[in-house]
Each structure stands twice: as structure tokens, then as C-alpha cells.
Amino acid sequence: MSKQNDVIVLGIFVADLAFYAPRMPVIGETLAGSNFVSGPGGKGGNQAVASARAGASTGFITRLGKDAFGDTGLKTWAAEGVTPFADITEDDPTGAAFIFVNDETGENAVIVVPGAAGGIDGAMVERYADEIAGAKVFVTQLEQPVGAALRGLEIARAASVITVFNPAPAEAFSDAIFPLCDYITPNETEAEDLTGIKVDNLADARRAGDALLAKGVGTALLTLGETGALFHSRDVSELIPAAKIDKVVDTTGAGDAFNGCFAAALARGEPPLRAAHFANIGAGISVTRAGTAPAMATYGEIIAKLKADAS
């Protein structure tokens, strides 16, 4: 029997293909870019790497094709200390993501094709029920089918495992998911999709947070880009300002950094609000680097930044 991991992430792995340019080309136009970066990605894969670098023993449940991109995933997890629980198929290729990054602002646009990971379903998740139930924190998102996320959250909740649900990308799902979430972590767009409340300012974010609590969520943790993050529970509503950084290079992995670091801090026993501060710094460090998984911060880097900002 494999050792239990403190954090289990369910999600997809894809190969990220990032193109840097001043703007997106229009249809029919060829545009010269300034940089190209390829590497490991997928929200689940990124969050697993972020959690491991942030100090948690981490396992990752996913599905890969038997191909070069799949090999990249396996090599990445071996290097990062992530335990893979990966079904490997010869029927479907490992997925890939096209990422446009504005080379002046770091803002991004993404097209993701999940490939083999699109075949993750509830029955597959059930096979890893012992790994989920043995963890301290379970994390999932919506790049794999919704039914798989629901089953993972059900297994975690039944075992009293802390649940972190990142409802990204925006996707319709059953209201049955909300009461299974100790923490839900949407960005502004996703919060609007879930609540119908457009999030343009902090007051809007708090109203959206209230709406999520009313749906049964334990705590709403809204990531608000350069504004920071709102920790919103029934007892506390605190804005955590964005980390102080010199230059934004690439924002693509910021949300994944936040979720992975948050899960690692919770697994370590940090109080939730302190864990959110830790995650916020991890996300801030990630945007100063190109790429997604390779941009994730280490525990030591985050602690050093927290101390520096406090001094």
C-alpha cells in the first residue's frame, strides 16, 4: 500500500504551449511573438506542484495518454515529489493548452483540450477513494468532467477530509456540490457565473460571497487579481491585499498557485485565514515568472516574502 499524502488533488494534466506577444492576432493574421515556453500544465497538475513545493506531501489523481506529453507529466511529478495516481491509456492523447500571454501586462487567454483527462469519471475516482479518504485536504476543479469532481468531493466529505473546490473554468454544475465545499475559490468571473452578481469592487465580492454561503459553502475565498483575495465566512470577511511584486510576467498560473499553496497550508494545520495569506504570497511570486507549474513558489520563498513584507 502506498503512503498516504496530506493533500490529494484531482484534475487534469496537459502540456502548456505558451506564446508571448503584444496582442492576440485577428483571424487571418500572422503575428510575430516575443517568446515561447512549453512545459507541464493543467489546473490539477499545477495545483499539485504548487502544493508539493509549498511543503505538503501531495498526490495527484489524473488520466494520461501513453505519449511524450504524458511522459512529461510523469517526469515532472518525479522531480517535484508528487505521487501520481494516473490511469494511462493508449486510446486518447494527453491533453494540451494553447496560452496567449500579453508580453507587456502578463495577462493571458487560454484554450485547453483535456485529451485523455476528459475520460476521468466517477468510477475512476472511486478507485482512488482510499487515497482521498486518507488525506487531510482534497482539491479539485472543473477541467475534468463535473461528475468526477462531485464524486471526489463526496468521498472526501464522508471521510471528514477538508475540501477545496476551485470552480474553474466556469462550468454549470449541480447545486449538490456547494454543501460539499469547505472552501470554494472562484475568481471574479467565476463568482459572477455562480451567483449572478457582477464583481466590480469589494462590496460586490462580499455580496457574491454571501450568495455562495447561502448555497451551503463553508467559506468563500474569492481571488480578485491585483486587488488580492477576499476571505469570506460567516464569521470573518477580510480582504487580503495582493502581494507586493516588482513586475508581472505571466498571470496564467496564479489561481493554481493560490489553491495549491492554500491546501498545503491547511494540511500543515495553519488557521484558514493565515493559510489564505500564505497562498496569496505564493500566487504573487508565481506571476513574476513565465509558465505555470514551473513558476510555482517554494515554501522557503513564500516564508521569506512574508517576513520581508511584514518588516
Is residue 2 in a domain?
no
pLDDT at residue 59 is higher than 70? yes
Please state, for a pLDDT cut of 70, what percent of the chain lies above it.
99
Q: Yes or no: say if 168 and 190 are a contact pair by the CB < 8 Å rule.
A: yes
Is residue 20 in a domain?
no
Q: Which of 37-41, 74-78, 301-305 has the lowest mean pLDDT?
A: 37-41
Q: How confident is the model over 141-171, as pLDDT tens digits? A: 999 999 999 999 999 999 999 999 999 998 8
Is residue 38 in a domain?
no
Is residue 34 in a domain?
no
Q: Please list the active-site residues.
A: 256
Exposed, middle or buried, 128 (CB in 10 Å: 0-12/13-18/19+)?
middle
User: What is residue 2's predicted lDDT score, i.e. its pLDDT?
Assistant: 55
CATH of the domain at 161: 3.40.1190.20
Is residue 79 in a domain?
yes
Is residue 87 in a domain?
yes
The whole model's pTM is what? 0.93
H and E: helices and strands count for the chain: 10, 13
User: What is residue 17's predicted lDDT score, i.e. its pLDDT?
Assistant: 93
Q: What is the mean pLDDT of residues 223-233?
A: 94
Structural domains counted in the chain: 1
Question: Nearest 10 degrees: CA dihedral of 93, 101, 40, 257?
Answer: -130
Is residue 252 in a domain?
yes
Cα 66 from Cα 305, distance rounded (Å): 40
**Residue-number span of the structural domain to which 257 is assigned:** 7-12+43-95+117-310
User: What is residue 25's predicted lDDT score, i.e. its pLDDT?
Assistant: 93
Is residue 71 in a domain?
yes
Q: What is the DSSP string of 248-289?
A: ----TTHHHHHHHHHHHHHHTT--HHHHHHHHHHHHHHHTTS
Q: How confident is the model over 239-292, as pLDDT tens digits? A: 999 888 888 888 889 999 999 999 999 999 999 999 999 999 999 999 999 888
CA atoms within 13 A on the CB side of 216: 9
